[in-house]
Structure 1
Amino acid sequence: MNITKHEICQPEIKVKGIAIENFRGYTNLQLAFQPDLTVLIGENGAGKTAVLDCLAALLRVFQEQIHSLKF
């Protein structure tokens, strides 16, 4: 039986929520994400992309640390 390290330990990182202050049109926003799926729905210009851009910026800041994790 051949078991690879990938099959034994699959790392999982979940974002539980985000707090945004003074980013684009948001002065103070707190969002809690659902465990399995979160959907952003709103009119054009409501800020959906701003939330995703903020999350992407945060992940870029920690990208090197995330890639260096040993699982």
Structure 2
Amino acid sequence: MIFKAFFLVRKTIDFKTDSTLRLCKVFAVENGQQLEARIATVINNLKADGYNYVELDDCWNISEPSGFLR
């Protein structure tokens, strides 16, 4: 399964300007437990990169049809 995850991130110095970034990551995983582990790893890596505020905003399974046809 392939998932697209969006994260909201902000550095401490940006709290004054309320400058929040939205980052996107794509994961290929076999099950939900692996997805949770990958998300936790990304959150830890973003915090290690200096982002003090990191939150999962949204996550979609993009390997299956969404059902929206035009």
Task: Name the TM tier (shorter chain).
Answer: 0.3 to 0.5
Structure whose residues are more often strand by fraction: 2
Q: Work out which structure has the larger RCO, using CA pairs closer than 8 Å and 6 or more positions apart in sequence.
A: 2
Q: TM-score, normalised by structure 2?
A: 0.34
Query: Which protein has the larger Cα radius of gyration, Structure 1 or Structure 2?
Result: 1
